[in-house]
């Protein structure tokens, strides 16, 4: 009985490839086919890609041109010399024990005046006083641009009517037509004011960003003047109050050492008053004053256009690819 057997044999001398090499070659071929197919799909949809990218780029150009210019002016300041730290430190070392008995603290643990000034600049009380003093509520909350030809701000009539001097904002309760102090503070801190201090040099930068370059520079000058005046008035009030207290304590004691302490403390407070009245830059001394900027700091129009074009290109490529494979299925 003869049995026919069919054998799958290769011709003699033909090398056999391992199975994993065959699979890898097939996978590579599939990848090449997929990439070629993807490229063909993108090439066929090039008109769509160019059209969508152009639309996004044009929209980005329009948005960039519509955005108002923002100008930045800043001043560089240095901490002024402390008025009384050295004297009080010497008194603390010499008469600290006796002074504590009389209820007077001579320890040199006072906060750095520069740090106090910076935090005061950021405080709600100071910002509110600054806005009210210089009548900045309307330009801060109702302006939307600047006319370079006549150096004036443009006011949004829907927010504030310059003729009737009335606020017309359409807001929901509890907000009112006239912006509150809290609203003005938030806008001022988020969009207008920037304060920073270099940790190594202790130099302080106060910057203002606004539609008008002239007002940006003026507001920086006002901020520097007002913070120095504020800190001066604060120290003068404290020194006068301290002198009144020390004078009463001096008149009520007959201990010679205590009288010596009181006399020297009164002398230190008197020095503080003298320096406060003489020194113009009381806490922060101007190193580089603010100037009127000639070029805008914002917006970055080229960056906006590039991002718009890239976004359009990405979305159009994704849309063409998805449409191709969805139609293929």
Note the pLDDT tens digit of each residue in 54-109.
Answer: 999 999 999 988 888 999 999 999 998 654 444 444 444 444 444 554 555 554 44
Q: Are residues 216 and 137 in the same domain?
A: yes
Q: Are residues 171 and 194 in the same domain?
A: yes
Q: Are residues 205 and 275 in the same domain?
A: yes
Cα–Cα distance measured from residue 116 to residue 284, given in angstroms and rounded to the nearest whole number: 11
The residue segments making up the domain with residue 176 are: 71-298
What are 76's two structure tokens?
């560089």
Flag whether 111 is in a domain: yes
- Give mean pLDDT, residues 205-230: 95
Distance of CA 89 to the CA centre of its chain: 37
Q: Are residues 146 and 279 in the same domain?
A: yes
CA distances (Å), 250 to each of 84, 88, 90, 242, in order?
21, 18, 20, 12
Predicted structure pTM score: 0.74
Backbone CA torsion sign across 266, 268, 269, 275 = positive
Answer for the pair 220, 292: CB distance below 8 angstroms, yes or no: no
Q: Are residues 278 and 130 in the same domain?
A: yes
Flag whether 29 is in a domain: yes
Cα–Cα distance measured from residue 125 to residue 131, given in angstroms and rounded to the nearest whole number: 10
pLDDT at position 329, please?
A: 61
Task: Give me the helix-helix angle, 46-66 and 19-44, nearest 10°.
Answer: 60
- pLDDT-wise least confident of 26-40, 66-80, 98-112, 141-155: 98-112
* Total domain count, the chain: 2
Answer for the pair 71, 296: CB distance below 8 angstroms, yes or no: yes
Which residue from 72, 120, 78 is spatially nearest to 204, judged by alpha carbons? Answer: 78
């Amino acid at each position: 009985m003869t049995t026919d057997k069919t054998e799958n044999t290769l011709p003699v001398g033909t090398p056999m490839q391992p199975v994993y090499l065959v699979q890898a070659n097939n996978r590579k071929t599939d990848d090449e086919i997929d990439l070629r197919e993807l490229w063909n799909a993108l090439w066929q949809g090039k008109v769509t890609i160019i059209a969508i990218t152009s639309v996004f780029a044009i929209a980005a150009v329009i948005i960039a041109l519509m955005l108002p210019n923002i100008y930045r002016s800043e001043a560089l300041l240095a901490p002024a010399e402390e008025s009384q730290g050295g004297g009080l430190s010497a008194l603390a070392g010499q008469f600290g024990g006796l002074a504590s008995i009389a209820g007077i603290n001579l320890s040199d643990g006072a906060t750095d005046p520069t740090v106090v000034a910076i935090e005061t600049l950021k405080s709600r009380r100071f910002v509110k006083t600054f806005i009210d003093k210089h009548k900045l509520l309307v330009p801060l909350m109702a302006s939307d641009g600047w006319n370079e030809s006549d150096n004036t701000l443009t006011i949004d009539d829907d927010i504030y009517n310059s003729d009737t001097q009335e606020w017309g904002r359409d807001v929901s309760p509890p907000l009112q037509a006239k912006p509150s102090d809290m609203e003005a503070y938030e806008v001022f801190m988020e969009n207008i004011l920037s304060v920073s201090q270099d940790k190594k040099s202790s130099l302080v930068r106060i910057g203002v960003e606004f539609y008008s370059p002239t007002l940006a520079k003026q507001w920086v000058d006002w901020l520097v003047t007002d913070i120095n005046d504020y800190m001066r008035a604060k120290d003068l009030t404290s020194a006068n109050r301290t002198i009144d207290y020390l004078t009463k304590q001096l008149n009520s004691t007959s201990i010679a050492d205590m009288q010596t302490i009181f006399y020297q403390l009164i002398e230190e407070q008197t020095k503080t008053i003298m320096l406060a009245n003489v020194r113009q830059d009381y806490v922060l001394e101007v190193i580089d004053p603010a100037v009127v900027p000639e070029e805008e700091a914002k917006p970055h129009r080229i960056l906006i256009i590039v991002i718009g074009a890239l976004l359009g290109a990405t979305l159009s490529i994704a849309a063409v690819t998805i449409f191709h494979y969805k139609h293929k299925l």
